Amino acid sequence: MSATAELVVDARCGTGESPVWMAAEEALYWVDIPGRALHRWSASDGHSSWRGSEQLACIARIDAPGEGWIAGMESGLFTVRPQPDGSLAAEGLAPVAHAETDMRFNDGRCDRQGRFWAGTMQMDMGAASRSGRLYRHDGQALEEVLGDLIVPNGLAFSPDGRTMYLSDSHPEVQTVWAFDYDTDSGRPSGRRVFVDMKQHPGRPDGAAVDVDGCYWICGNDAGWVHRFTPDGRLDRSLAVPVKKPAMCAFGGPKLDTLYVTSIRPGGDLSDQPLAGGLFALRPGVQGIAETAFVPSPRAGASASASGT
């Protein structure tokens, strides 16, 4: 195994997020939020991307042939499909009534049953607005589940699906919570502090869970990816050559490669020229395949957006 991060794609994403491994294609997909782009990389085909009309924050594959991806964007949830001309076609799935203007979706993924979870945030992080919300979409309705969040992040589910993790990565909060999760109803309860990230390097950003039930979280601003055991104990920390790792995901044929997306901030990048790139680590453990979104036959389009 190698704990040394290797550059996979010098993608230069403004905010690289939501990596998802597609085993059938042996390819990794991820997004660049401000770039409004969906990216794809495979060892055989290289790197490609498609651009949409809204900021694209989080994705999950749709469990239906040819249906593409469910995506959390600015004005709601959409079904998106890459087009041959490099555009990203988007069809409205569920609009969102934001608490304020200038908001968008942020981190998101499916639970083990195929429900899509995603949080929203005020784009101006400096405002520290607690207008962020956490939503669940079961294929029929978009339901607000939690509020009073600034930057919801770190969504993940334990291997048995009975524990849900959520973080708030804003500097004022920097906390990861764990919840008991009812897999039948899709409702979390028993909220408790899992990790106080103010005690560790970096703000809690995107996360993944391995087969041992350990929680991997990117330490944004610190250049680390941390692994916490199910009881909240820091087990190890792996370095990446950029200050702002954003989200991690397991991939590769054996799900034993940890892919890490990153952020390319403005200003002097002489000390981190690869910021915004996609990196790979071999941590010596295996991950769990991401669950695809299970659509409902009653789900209908209620908004629209077109690729540009």
138, 205, 210, 256: which one is catalytic? 205
Domains of the chain: 6-305 (2.120.10.30)
Q: Name the phi and psi angles at 175, rounded to 5.
A: -130, 145
Mean of pLDDT values over 37-47: 97
Percent pLDDT > 90 in the chain is: 92
Inform me whether the pLDDT recorded for 246 exceeds 50: yes
Residue among 122, 118, 163 nearest 142 (CA): 118
Inform me whether the pLDDT recorded for 92 exceeds 50: yes
Contacts 24+ apart (CB under 8 A), 60-63: 60/20, 60/108, 60/109, 60/110, 60/116, 60/290, 60/291, 60/292, 60/293, 61/20, 61/22, 61/290, 61/292, 61/293, 62/292, 62/293, 62/295, 63/114, 63/292, 63/293, 63/294, 63/295
The pair of three-digit structure tokens given for residue 218, joined into one six-digit string: 């990117």
Question: For 200-211, what is each residue's pLDDT tens digit?
Answer: 999 999 999 999
150 compared with 301, residue with greater pLDDT: 150
The question of whether 205 is a catalytic residue gets the answer yes
Could you give the CA distance from residue 13 to residue 276 in angstroms, rounded to a whole number? 4
Question: For 184-240, what is each residue's pLDDT tens digit?
Answer: 999 999 999 999 999 999 999 999 999 999 999 999 999 999 999 999 999 999 999
